[in-house]
A and B are shown apart, each in its own frame.
Chain A
Amino acid sequence: MKPLLPLSRRELLKTAAASSLAGLAWPVSSQQAMAQSKTLSVFAPRPPDPAPPGAAKFSEAAFAEWQKANDSSVSYDLVPWPELHDKMATTFASGEHVWDVVYMSGWVPEFAKFLTPFSAKLSKELVDDLPKSSFATVTWGGETSGVVFTLSLLTLFHNTELLQKAGFKEAPKTWDELKAAAKETTRDGQFGWVLNYGEPAGIGGTASYWMCFLQQAGGKLYNDDATPAFNNDAGRAALQMMIDLMPYTDPGSISYVGINDATNVMTAGKAAMMMNWPFMWKPANDPAASKIVGKLAGALLPAGPAGTASIDGTDAWTITKTSKDPDLAIKLIEFYLDKEVQKRQAIDTGWLPIRLSILSDPEVQSALPNAAVVLEQAKHPYDSYVTPDYNEVTVAIGTEINKALAGKSNAKDALAEAESLVSAIVKKRS
């Protein structure tokens, strides 16, 4: 039988020995190479939530190039969005260094002491291209510890076909028009309005939705001395508006615990209107996942007595105090906010850029017609009222709102109880 490889026994042994030596030598040379290169660890949400290049499918070649150019490697620790806060809390409590760059969504005040303020080190060209107001939610105690990377405000999404069938040629512009449109589009197993009221806490929870209506009514959450300022006509009008919408709201809304639950109802063509984050545009226009392709349009949130207003999703990058190379971390964040990366982020993932020049880019506006709407919404108030005890405050308010929406309470009693609970929380604020 002819051997497959023409090797003698001696040659075979020599080859094996050489391979073994090479194998032994490899870890040494590899370790030397590793010692030379720098590493960064990034904690971020798993796509389709706003994830960085290399984690989400955009700017992957540019990301590889950046690592090569900076002689560094970036590793991602990605978890589903709802798990971010808790994992962050336990990691920070451990006192160990785990991540250099961390995604935040309204949690900067809560974890400010674990973060390095770095906005002063960002290039002027970049800072000048960002909305000044975008730094509000990443600033606490006078220190700015993050930079927002996507303009994520709640706006109105509506099913043009359902509205037209009900006799409405355009999206509602005022509260009264919203109620009328919701009423008329509630028919044949469809609902005028859908939202996720099941989870009271955090940005995207019941309390945060009420904060939109609160600002539209001309109210605010806190007085200048940080005491509650919402148990008044504006607060009650805001909650009453939500209660008035309930007969035309998908009854499931009271039990939906995540925005995806509500989005799914909208993309199934079962609801005419909802407020949602800009990400919705892409899945709603994906024929594989949506029944309303080409029927979705965006608009400003309907105006209350004080005009339109929204809240900010506050998706930001921050740097931990334990990072051994904060300068490299800043460079990485600047790369995430690079013009071309921001453009690809918008077009490829649907998450809008934060850079004003990219928001007004014709290619971005053509791919994402809602970009112009969000940009317009940003000209009006969009305070999310984030504080170190934001979760506790929003659970207190959101639970009372939930009771009112479920018919177990009314606007007056719900806000009186919420005020009492928030006053107690605020008193303990250090």
Chain B
Amino acid sequence: MLAAAHAGRRSILQPQRAAQLFLLPSIVVLLLLLAIPVLYSIWLSLTDANLSAGRLDTPFVGLENYSNLLQDKAVHNALLNTLYFTVVEVGGVLLLGLSTALLLNHPLGRWSGFRVLLLLPWAIAPVANAVLWKWIYHANYGVLNAILKSLGVIDSNVTWLGEPFRALNMLLIVDIWKSTPFIAILLLAALQNIPRSLYRAARMDGASAWQSFRYITLPSLKIPLAIAAILQTIWSLRTFDLIFVLTKGGPADGTVVMNFLAYRVTFNFLKFGYGASIANLIFLTSLLLAIAYMRLLKPVGRR
């Protein structure tokens, strides 16, 4: 009896070991591609890495870079911009994504062509997208000014990227436009999993359309919406290409977000250590969000 149990356990353990062996190459690749750069970045952030000696010098400075972050006006400005950008973008994308998903879930919106059209903005390469919008927003030749003038909304051309706060909002519009399709498709998939019988039962009980949405749709979308919010937050923290092409952080640093600041400090100012500390701050935020995302993906009982 004992021998049989022992043999049974060995037969269970062996496939596990085999699985671990098979996974080993992937783990090594992940370590090389992800863990080493992350650890190196953490190390860099603890140094005053610079090129002044004709090589990459890395004198150890401990947590000095992180304490400097607290006093740096440029960081404060970038943090505020990032916070505003992220909150408005996530809110805007979720709202538009959910509205679009609801429209596509309606019997009239089920034509597959709608979904293809919807995915177009998402499929455009980020830099190509930024260049496209650069021309749309152009103060003299931009399509946006031409359309608004022909509609009588504005009398003269508006410099859309000429004022700091306005420029940040114009960038938000572009990013929301590009990000909405993916979230809409994600939410549409979740909507299609809600049993139709719930809606039929609600209708028979006399529930209005709003009540069906409030008490059936929204609660059913709680987890997908949370996942979408986390993913979109991570993506908005990564925004760079749009700013690089459209505004270079200007005017007057009005569109400098943390990711762009990390680039500017690292590659323009060649302060590799300080730049790494800014990048690590973004990394830490993304990591915490990613952990929350992983927890949400787990089945309810195992969370």
Contact = CB atoms under 8 A, between A and B. Distances in A.
Interface in A193-210: 197-201
B56 A93 contact: yes
Contact of B140 (A113, A254, A270, A395): A270
A79 interface: no
A250 B162 CA distance: 11
Q: Is the interface of B mostly helix, strand, loop or mixed?
A: loop
A90 interface: yes
Q: Is the interface of A mostly helix, strand, loop or mixed?
A: helix
Interface stretch (A284-292, A305-313, A327-335, A385-393): A385-393
B56 A430 contact: no
Interface stretch (B13-21, B32-40, B246-254): B246-254
Interface string B25-64: 0000000000000000000000000011111100000000
B285 interface: no
Given A85-B267, A252-B159, A406-B164, A257 B56 contact: no
Interface residues of A, number: 38
Nearest to B49: A93
A392 B251 contact: no
A111 interface: yes
B134 to A, nearest CB: 9
B72 to A, nearest CB: 10
B55 A254 contact: no
Contacts of A95: 55-56
A319 to B, nearest CB: 14
Contacts of A402: 250-252
Given A250-B139, A252-B139, A255-B167, A90 B248 contact: no
Interface string B249-267: 0111100000000001001
A403 B246 CA distance: 18
B43 to A, nearest CB: 14
Contact of A257 (B55, B247, B264): B247
Contacts of B163: 254, 406
B272 interface: yes
A62 B190 CA distance: 67
Contact of A198 (B140, B247, B270, B272): B247
Nearest to A205: B248
A198 B51 contact: no
B220 to A, nearest CB: 44
B238 interface: no
Q: Considering residues A252, A321, A389, which has the most beta carbons from chain B within 10 angstroms of its beta carbon?
A: A252
Contacts of A270: 140
A252 B248 contact: no
A257 B248 contact: yes
B164 A391 contact: no
Nearest to B137: A255
A92 B51 contact: yes
B267 A321 contact: no
Interface string A395-420: 10001001100101000000000000
A176 to B, nearest CB: 27
Contacts of B267: 85-86, 89-90
B51 A321 contact: no
Given A93-B272, A111-B51, A199-B248, A251 B264 contact: no
Contact of A113 (B51, B138, B157): B51
B268 interface: yes
B269 interface: yes
B251 A406 contact: yes
B157 A399 contact: no
B270 A89 contact: yes
29 contacts: A86-B267, A92-B51, A93-B51, A94-B56, A95-B55, A110-B270, A113-B53, A113-B55, A114-B51, A198-B247, A198-B250, A199-B248, A251-B139, A251-B157, A252-B159, A254-B159, A254-B163, A254-B251, A255-B159, A255-B160, A255-B250, A255-B251, A257-B246, A391-B269, A392-B268, A399-B253, A402-B251, A402-B252, A406-B163
Given A89-B51, A251-B157, A321-B54, 15 more contacts: A110-B270, A113-B54, A198-B247, A198-B251, A252-B140, A252-B159, A252-B162, A254-B162, A255-B251, A388-B52, A395-B268, A402-B252, A406-B163, A408-B252, A430-B52
- Give 7 nearest A-B pairs by CB, closest first: A252-B139, A113-B54, A255-B161, A86-B267, A254-B162, A403-B252, A251-B159
Interface of B: 51-56, 138-140, 157, 159-164, 167, 246-248, 250-253, 264, 267-270, 272
